[in-house]
Structure 1
């Protein structure tokens, strides 16, 4: 199978490519240092799979997966991450990613996951799977909207006028979100939601 490795850390990208190239049935045909380059490579080189870091400059791995899904590109996407953020996992799966693995997985595990994905199955690191299924996003769409605007530094009044709501309604949404996230205040709530990838 033909594979592209997209990872912004040069040393890791090179090491990963070299190790995967040692596998008889895997050929690394391109290496990308950011998401935009990865998307361009996928469109020109037509690989079977792309292994992508989630957090990359220009476009994240999630952005690339969403762009591929939109254009119905057949390239399979396997996400590599150091983050066990359930929000990332849910967004990656919605974008059609077939695999979700930890960066420090042994290369044999990664190669086996690529074969699974190539065969039409999903591959998720066991360490990640449990965390993800346990941590569903408790916030409603409106609570997320309110928290995102609060993260930009807007006051309750400013959020209310932006969303055409009353100040009291905004305060209710904020206090619901704070309660659900077991936070002390809105700053804590924003930090907790960000940590889980629930505001992306």
Structure 2
């Protein structure tokens, strides 16, 4: 039996390389490729893939949100996240969104094909190093509001701009930033943003 695959990655070269590698396997065939997260569900409806391989960072909709949308719309299609961004927080979010697997893009081709087969068979496949990191890093210590404020602070926006964007007072924004800096063990808000991003909390 041939396993039908959908590939979603905004980098055409990466997507093409993945398709070429997976098509070499006798029991795997790529039936659809998309470059945006918001094209995943429509492509899946049209091509009925058995497994969707989704990148995390894509325009339109990120891979984790696309996984949730796909699971809600077509629960019979299993999801395998294949990403450069091997962050523990992303792993946790992906599994919560209904993904059956999470591997990084530098996984050898044979292992990736095996991961596809195992996910198709109903098993869960997680990169072992990432699973260990996820256990060590634990859940995000940030509140929803602290997360919002750090996201808004990513590009170095001043407190007044963040406050206006989030409909908060400048004092409240400063309090959230201060709390987030403390929780991430950072000494500046830029460090707090980097720490939160590296753990996949943003």
TM interval, short-chain normalised: 0.7 to 0.9
| Structure 1 portions without partners, runs of 5+ | none
Q: Do the aligned partners of residues 132 and 83 (structure 1) sit closer, same or farther apart at CA in structure 2, a change above 3 Å counting? A: same
Alpha-carbon shift at residue 50 of structure 1 (Å) = 0.7
For each residue in 1:64-122, what CA deviation from the matched residue of structure 2 results, as whole angstroms up to 9, or x when unmatched? 11211333532111011111222211221111011111101111101111111111111
Aligned residue in 1 for 2:8: 6
Match of 2:195 among 188, 192, 195: 192
Q: Do the aligned partners of residues 166 and 34 (structure 1) sit closer, same or farther apart at CA in structure 2, a change above 3 Å counting? A: closer
Q: Partners of 1:92 and 1:37 in 2: how far apart?
A: 18
Asked if residue 182 in structure 1 is aligned to residue 159 in structure 2, the reply is no
Alpha-carbon shift at residue 23 of structure 1 (Å) = 1.7
Aligned residue in 2 for 1:144: 147
1:5-154 equivalence runs, <5 A: 5-136=7-138, 137-151=140-154, 153=157
What's the TM-score once normalised by structure 1's chain length?
0.85
Q: Which runs of 4+ in 1 moved over 6 A?
A: none
Is contact 1:84–1:131 with CA below 8 Å preserved after alignment?
Answer: no
Q: Partners of 1:63 and 1:180 in 2: how far apart?
A: 26
Residue 167 of structure 2 aligns to a residue in which SS? Answer: helix
Is contact 2:6–2:49 with CA below 8 Å preserved after alignment?
Answer: yes
Q: Do the aligned partners of residues 8 and 174 (structure 1) sit closer, same or farther apart at CA in structure 2, a change above 3 Å counting? A: closer
Q: Do the aligned partners of residues 149 and 4 (structure 1) sit closer, same or farther apart at CA in structure 2, a change above 3 Å counting? A: closer
Residue 17 of structure 2 aligns to a residue in which SS? Answer: helix
Residue 113 of structure 1 aligns to a residue in which SS? Answer: helix
Q: Do the aligned partners of residues 4 and 155 (structure 1) sit closer, same or farther apart at CA in structure 2, a change above 3 Å counting? A: same
Is contact 1:52–1:79 with CA below 8 Å preserved after alignment?
Answer: yes
Q: Partners of 2:56 and 2:107 in 1: how far apart?
A: 15
Q: Do the aligned partners of residues 162 and 196 (structure 1) sit closer, same or farther apart at CA in structure 2, a change above 3 Å counting? A: same
Q: Partners of 1:102 and 1:108 in 2: how far apart?
A: 13
Q: Partners of 1:123 and 1:188 in 2: how far apart?
A: 32
Q: Partners of 1:157 and 1:60 in 2: how far apart?
A: 25
